[in-house]
Chain A
Amino acid sequence: MGSSPLDELVDAFVNLEEDKVLNLVERLLKEGGDPVDVLEACRSATKIIGERFERGEYFLSELVYAGEIFNRVMEAVLPKVTKEIKPIGTIVLGTVQGDIHDIGKNIFKAFSQAAGFEVIDLGVDVPPERFVEAVIEYKPNIVGMSGLLTLAIESMKKTVEVLKSAGLRDKIKIIIGGGRVDENAKQYVEADEWADQATIGVRKCRELISVMA
C-alpha cells in the first residue's frame, strides 16, 4: 500500500503505537496538515479497533489503551481546531448515582468523540440533579447514562423522572449503556436507546441525532 502520513497514522493507531501516533500527529500539524483530517484518521482507526474488539481479536486492554491514546491526540489537536469543525452533536455523559464503574463509560466517550460528538463528561456517581443542571447548561442532543450495578437501573429511572419533571425530557434523547442494560431496562427507565458495546452505542447516537434533525 502506498502510504500517506495519514494512512501511516491510521496504522500506527490501530496497532496502538502511542509514541508513533503522537509524533505523526505533531508532524502533520506542524507541516500545516488539516486538524480535521487528523481527527478523521483517528476516527477510522478507532472504528477498526472497535471491530477487532467485536471479533475477539482485541481485548479490553486494547480498548482502554485506545481510549487513552485518543485522549492524548485530542489534547494535541484541539488547540489547533478552528471553529469550522462543528461537532455532529453533543452528549452529556455520566455514570449514574451510586455507581462508580467508568471503564466502559470512558471507552464510549472516546469512541463517540472520535465519531465527531462533543462529550460533556460528568464523571461517576452523578446525581440526577447534576444531569439536569448539565442539560440546562450545555443543551445537548443526547444524555448518555452509564451503569453496571443492578441499582444503577433505578438511578437511571430516577434521573429520567427528574429530567421529566424539569420539563427537559422531550428536548433530548436518552441512551443508556453498560453491561447490564438491555431492551427491558430501556423500557423500564424510559430511555430511547440502549447499548452494551461502545461501537453500537455510537451507531445508535448517530441514528438518534439523524431522527432529531
Chain B
Amino acid sequence: MSKMPEELIREKSERLSRVMELKEPDRVPLSFASCFGEFMARYSGITVDDFLFNYDKTRESAVKFASDFLHDMLVLAPGAEGFIFSVAFSNHPDIAPLVRFLTGPMHDILNDKYTRWPGRELLHNIPFQFIGGEFMSLSEYDDLIEDPVEFIIKTVLPRTCGTLEAPGSQQAMAALVRLGMESLKFGSFLGALGADLARVGYPSLPITFAYCPLDFIGDFLRKPTGALIDVRRVPDKVKSACEALIKPILNVALALKPAGANLAFIPLHLNEYLAPKLYNEFYWPYLKRVIVELYNNGIKSFVFFEGYHDAHLETILELPRGWGIAYFEKTDIRKAKKVLEGHSCVMGGLPIPLMVSGTPEKIEEYVRNLLKDVMSGGGFILAPGVAEIPGETPIENMRAIIKAVEKHGRY
C-alpha cells in the first residue's frame, strides 16, 4: 500500500479522466467535498471556527483527512456562497476568481448580511450559515437588466455589506483594500493546499465556477421564493435579467481558463422547486446556454443538481455528449445512470442518513448493490448525496465507504 505520490496522482487523474470520457476506469472513483469543514475539523481535533478562520489549520486538517481517508477527488472550499462578489468583479479576471468564496475572514471584513458565522452571529464550533435575503425590489429589475455588474456594485453591495454601505467612504475604501489583501491570502492558501495534497497523492482539480442565472436572482437578490413569484408576475423581466446575467457569469468562469481551468462547478438550488413548465422556460434555457458556451470554450461543467431532479432528468440529454459531470443529491441515482448512460458522467449515490446512522455492514451491502447496478459502462463517480461530509458521520462509516469501493468497485 505504499505507492509513490506521483504514481497515485497518475492513477487518480487517469481514473477521473476516463469517467469523464464516459469510459470504464480501473475502479469507480470516490469523491468527497466540503465547505463547512465540520467532519474534517472534528477528525483532526480543531474547532470549526479554526477550520473556517485560520487557513494554516484548514490546510493541516484537510491534509490529515486526505491522507487518512484515501479517495480520488477532494473538492474543498472553506467558504460560503459568494458568487455575487465574483460577478461584481467579473470584468477583472485577476480578481473575480479570488472572491468566489466568501470566507470567514472576508465576512469579518465585509460584514455581509448573506451569512452568519461561528463565534460571530452564531455560537462557537458550528458551521457558517447562508441566510440570503431580499436585497432588490421588484421595480429594480430594469436596473439589473440594463447593467448587472454596475447595479450590483453600486446598489446591491452597499445594501448587503455593512462596511460598503457608504460607497467612497473611508470605511468602504478600507474594506475593499482589506478584501484584496485577504483574497490574496486565500489564493496562496489554495495554492499551498494544492501542493500539500499533491505530496500525499492527490491531483489538483483544474476547477472554475459558474452559476445558473435564475439561482443568482434567488440566492443574492430576491430570495428563492421571491424568484418563484417573480416568474409569474414579471415573466419577461425575469427572462431579460437571466439573459443579462449570462455574460458576467461566463466572464467569471472564463477568468481561470488561461490558468488551465477546464471544469466549471455549478451548484443549483431552484431546480427541484420548479414545475417542468417553469423549469423549461425560466431556468434551463439559460443554464444550458452557460454550459454549452463553456463547453465550446473547452470547459466542461460539474453541476450539482440539488434535491430531487427526477422531473427534469431528460432535459440533460439536450447537452452535448460528454458535457461534464451530473452530481445528484436525492434524485434516484439508478434511474439517472440509466437515462444518462453514455451521455453524461453521473456522480452521487451515498445517502446522508446511511452515512450518519448506518453501520459499516449496511454501508458495504448498500455500496455493493448500488455499484452492481450503476458501474457498468463507466461514467460513474461515487460520492455523498450532499456536497458535504456530514459532521456527525462516524469515522468507521467513512472507512467502510472507502473499503467498499475498493472491494466492489473494480472493473
A190 adjacent to chain B (CB < 8 Å): no
How far apart sit A60 and B131, CA to CA, in the bound complex (Å)?
A: 19
Contact in complex: B278, A61 (CB < 8 Å): yes
Across the interface, do B131 and A61 meet the contact criterion of CB distance under 8 Å? no
Q: B192 near A: Cβ within 8 Å? A: no
Which of B131, B232, B273, B274 makes the CB contact (< 8 A) with A16? B232
Is B259 an interface position by the 8 A CB rule?
A: no
**Given A100-B131, A103-B224: A59 in contact with B229 (beta carbons within 8 A):** no
**Residue A65 at the B interface, CB < 8 A?**
yes
Given the interface contacts A65-B228, A100-B131, A103-B224, does A60 sit within 8 Å of B233 by beta carbon?
A: no
A25-66 residues at the B interface, CB under 8 angstroms: 58-62, 64-65
Assuming the A-B contacts A59-B311, A103-B224, are A68 and B273 also in contact, with contact meaning beta carbons closer than 8 angstroms in the complex? no
Are B232 and A18 within 8 A (Cβ)? yes
Q: Is the CB of B273 within 8 A of A61?
A: yes
* Given A64-B225, A100-B131, A59 contacting B273 (CB threshold 8 A): yes
Q: Are A61 and B228 touching (Cβ within 8 A)?
A: yes
Complex interface residues of chain B between 256 and 293 (CB less than 8 A to chain A): 272-275, 278
The docked-state distance in angstroms from the alpha carbon of A103 to that of B273 is 11
Within 8 Å by CB of A61, from B126, B129, B233, B274, lies: B274
Query: Complex formed: what's the CA distance from A16 to B126 in Å?
Result: 41
Is B275 a contact partner of A64 (Cβ separation < 8 A)? no
Shortest distance in angstroms between A100's beta carbon and chain B's nearest beta carbon?
Answer: 6
A18 with B273: CB separation less than 8 A: no
B131 touching A65 by the CB < 8 A rule? Answer: no
Q: Which residues of B contact A65 (CB under 8 A)?
A: 228-229, 232
Whether B232 contacts A58 by the Cβ 8 Å rule is: no
Q: Which residue of B lies closest to A98 (CB)?
A: B122
Query: Do the beta carbons of A62 and B275 come within 8 Å of each other?
Result: yes
A58 proximity list for chain B (CB < 8 A): 275
Which positions 11-27 of chain A face chain B at CB distance < 8 Å? 16, 18
Contact B225 A103 (CB under 8 A): yes
Instruction: Note all chain B residues with C-beta closer than 8 A to A62.
Output: 275
Grouping DSSP codes into helix (H, G, I), strand (E, B) and loop, the B interface class, with mixed when no group exceeds half, is helix
* Contact residues of B between 210 and 238, Cβ < 8 Å to A: 224-225, 228-229, 231-233
How many residues of B are counted as interface, with CB atoms below 8 angstroms from the partner's CB atoms?
Answer: 16
CA gap between A58 and B278 in the complex, in Å: 11
By beta carbon, the residue of chain B nearest A102 is: B225
Assembled-state Cα–Cα distance A52/B275 (Å)? 12
| Closest Cβ neighbor of A150 among chain B residues | B392
Q: How far is the CB of A65 from chain B (nearest CB, A)?
A: 6
CB distance from A43 to the nearest CB of B (A): 21
CA–CA, A154 to B126, complex, Å? 14
A18 engages B131 (CB within 8 Å): no
* Complex alpha-carbon distance, A62 and B224, angstroms: 13
Q: Given contacts A18-B232, A18-B233, is CB(A61)–CB(B224) below 8 Å?
A: no
- Interchain CA distance A209-B126 in the complex, whole Å: 39
CA of A18 to CA of B228 in the docked complex: distance in angstroms? 14
- Which residues of A sit under 8 angstroms from B225, Cβ to Cβ? 64, 103, 106
- Quote the shortest CB–CB distance from B277 to chain A (angstroms): 9
Q: Which of B129, B131, B229, B272 contacts A64 (CB 8 A)?
A: B229
Report whether A68 and B274 are in contact in the complex, using a CB–CB cutoff of 8 Å: no
A18 contacts which chain B residues (CB < 8 A)? 232-233
Contacts of B278 in A (CB 8 A): 59, 61
What are the residues of chain B within 8 A of A100 when measuring CB–CB? 129, 131
Contact A68 to B229, CB < 8 A, known contacts A59-B311, A103-B224: yes
A58 to B276, CA, bound (A): 10
A139 to B272 alpha-carbon distance, docked (Å) = 38
Known: A18-B233, A59-B272. 17 other contacts (CB 8 A): A16-B232, A58-B275, A59-B273, A59-B275, A59-B311, A60-B228, A60-B272, A60-B273, A60-B274, A61-B228, A61-B273, A61-B275, A62-B275, A64-B225, A65-B229, A100-B131, A151-B126
Which residues does A use to contact B, with CB under 8 Å?
16, 18, 58-62, 64-65, 68, 100, 103, 106, 151
27 contacts between A and B (CB under 8 A): A16-B232, A18-B233, A58-B275, A59-B272, A59-B273, A59-B274, A59-B275, A59-B311, A60-B228, A60-B273, A60-B274, A61-B228, A61-B273, A61-B274, A61-B275, A61-B278, A62-B275, A64-B225, A64-B228, A64-B229, A64-B273, A65-B228, A65-B229, A65-B232, A100-B131, A103-B224, A106-B225
Interface residues of B, Cβ cutoff 8 Å to A:
126, 129, 131, 224-225, 228-229, 231-233, 272-275, 278, 311
